[in-house]
């Protein structure tokens, strides 16, 4: 279902929004499959090389979704999707996380 969606939605838990130190697993799952994400804006997302619409205001969040669904050309969506999927596969799989931990 996510893979066939034009855009995926993401909202973090309250503690993640308050602390801003981590993201939920959904961030990586949706970016790895759908590739196009609208998320609430938390500080930790600054640490990643993803193209993500980030909004905390509900009205602007909905506007970002509508922009992707109705206004963004298919070729631009495909570029975003390819970038995000490739970024997840290259740097954010469980295997890459374990390798990073083993290098510590």
Q: What is the pLDDT of residues 44-57, one digit of tens each?
A: 999 999 999 999 99
CA distance 59 to 47: 25
Is the Cβ–Cβ distance between 7 and 68 less than 8 Å? yes
Helix %, strand %, coil % for the chain, to 5? 60, 10, 35
Check residue 3 and give its pLDDT.
75
Q: How many Å separate Cα 91 from the centre of its chain?
A: 14
CA distance 71 to 65: 10
Does pLDDT of 82 surpass 90? yes
CA distance 24 to 42: 11
CA distance 86 to 104: 24
CA distance 33 to 1: 10
Per-residue pLDDT averaged across 48-68, rounded? 96
Per-residue pLDDT averaged across 32-38, rounded? 91
């Amino acid at each position: 279902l996510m893979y066939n969606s034009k855009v995926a939605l993401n909202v973090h838990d309250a503690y993640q929004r308050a602390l801003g130190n981590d993201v939920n697993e959904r961030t990586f799952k949706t970016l790895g499959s759908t590739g196009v994400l609208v998320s609430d804006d938390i500080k930790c997302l600054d640490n990643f090389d993803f193209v993500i619409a980030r909004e905390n205001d509900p009205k602007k969040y909905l506007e970002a979704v509508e922009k992707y669904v109705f206004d963004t050309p298919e070729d631009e969506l495909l570029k975003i999707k390819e970038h995000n999927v490739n970024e997840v596969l290259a740097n954010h799989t469980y295997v890459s996380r374990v390798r990073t931990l083993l290098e510590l």
